[in-house]
Amino acid sequence: MVGIKDMQKIYIVVGERSGDMHAAQLIEALRRSSSSHLQFRGIGGHAMQELGVDLFSVHHELSAKGITETLRKLGVQNKKRKSCEKDILSYRPDLMLYVDFPGFNLPLAKFTHSLGIPNLYYIPPKTWLSRSYRLKSLNRYIQCILCIFPFEYEYFREHHPCVHYVGNPSVHHIKQHVWDKDWIQTQCQDSNLRVALLPGSRSDDVKVLKSLLPMISRRKDIRFYIPAIAGLEKSYALVQDMENVRVVYKRFYDILKISQAAIVGLGTASLEAALLDVPHMICHQFHWLTKALFPLLVHKSVVSLPNLILGKETIKEYIASKVNTFKVEKELNKLIENSSYRKNILTDFKSIRSLLGNKEAGKEVAHQVLDFLNSPKNV
């Protein structure tokens, strides 16, 4: 039987689908790497839950993107953070692991720092893109930053004493994915064009489907696939019964595999589409106020992950308070029909894979976590 002194507790906080997947990958790596008995608790989603993590709350209740979108959830987030602080006081973890989600996580890190709990930040706030004032909190409350982009590592090591590039977790997720060959073959049997619609993992993200509805209705030659997120069932009601739309659960990568092109929201999905060689565009809808303030808040001319990694606009970015479906459809036709345009995009996607490298992010982060758990201050 494991004694209390041999039991080490890790509290993990994530804010969306991708963070949940990355945390699950890390938990699996920790269980393989550690001989000690590890306990996990925190805020997460389906992937963490499947690994038996004791979830205090689910992430889709809290996450938001954009100023007005975040303000609408501010009360809910603050209330949940207070409850989370009480849960942490009761649980008394040996280490906190924050995954992205900075609006919620940085204030919580201030609290856990005051308790003397080591704080690690995996997938840190994108202060190189916007809100550089968050660097102050990172320096005060975070012991170590674990980066997933090479350019991000170069940036943070100028601002923080402990920074590591651990590789990109999406690379390993895709490498380890078990393809459903029967399902893929079935979907590819007819002559329909296949386009993935990846609006995002938040309820506000999915609202873009309403703007795209006229185009979806008009394009009977295309079968649109939406990899649905558990907890957002009501958000898909608008397109659920359309003849040329398939709302499919638990087949995110399989959908990208069969798609000739994709329409993608801001976030990790764009990088995943690039890694799977799916030509795509960014189509994201913000509240008008968020969009109006965008030039003041964002330090870069491009904002999608593939473009940021490459340092240029390889994929088109349509970001508006209401997307222009004429522009979106025109770009979609180009992505599908223009072979030289597709070839240039795919060449750039190959460069992305080379830049990210082959490190297994979950394993690399697990080493850092165990180093902190086993350091003299924590033994």
Q: Can you give the CATH number for the domain in which 122 is found?
A: 3.40.50.2000
User: Which of 198, 199, 232 has the alpha carbon at shortest distance from 59?
Assistant: 232
The helix/strand/coil state of 48 is helix
What is the DSSP track for 319-360? EESS--HHHHHHHHHHHHH-HHHHHHHHHHHHHHHHHH-S--
How many structural domains is the chain composed of? 2
Q: Is residue 174 part of a domain?
A: no
Q: Is residue 275 part of a domain?
A: yes
pTM of the model: 0.85
* Element spanning 122, H or E: strand 119-122
* The pLDDT of residue 296: 58
Q: Are residues 11 and 155 in the same domain?
A: yes
Q: Is residue 175 part of a domain?
A: no
Q: Is residue 379 part of a domain?
A: no
* The pLDDT of residue 285: 81
Q: Are residues 188 and 133 in the same domain?
A: no
Q: Are residues 217 and 123 in the same domain?
A: no
Q: Are residues 196 and 153 in the same domain?
A: no
Task: Identify the domain containing residue 163 by its residue range.
Answer: 4-167+359-373
* The pLDDT of residue 36: 65
Residues 53-81: b if buried by 16+ CB within 10 A, e if exposed: bebbebbbebbbbbbebbeebeeebeebb
* The pLDDT of residue 1: 35
Q: Is residue 56 part of a domain?
A: yes
Q: Are residues 79 and 137 in the same domain?
A: yes
Task: Report residue 108 as tokens.
Answer: 């919580």
Q: Are residues 331 and 212 in the same domain?
A: yes
Kindly give the parts of the chain with pLDDT less than 70.
Answer: 1-6, 35-36, 59-74, 286-299, 321, 376-379
Q: Is residue 151 part of a domain?
A: yes
Q: For residue 222, list its beta bridge partners.
A: 193
Q: Is residue 331 part of a domain?
A: yes
Task: Report residue 117 as tokens.
Answer: 């709990």
Q: Are residues 32 and 120 in the same domain?
A: yes
Q: Are residues 190 and 332 in the same domain?
A: yes
* The dihedral sign for the CA sequence 247, 249, 252, 254: negative
- On whether the CB atoms of residues 123 and 144 are closer than 8 A, the answer is no
* CA–CA dist 316, 368 (Å, integer): 37
Q: Are residues 363 and 297 in the same domain?
A: no
* The pLDDT of residue 312: 95
* The pLDDT of residue 288: 54
pLDDT per residue over 11-50, tens digit each? 999 988 888 999 999 999 999 987 668 999 999 998 999 9
Q: Are residues 365 and 341 in the same domain?
A: no
Q: Is residue 269 part of a domain?
A: yes
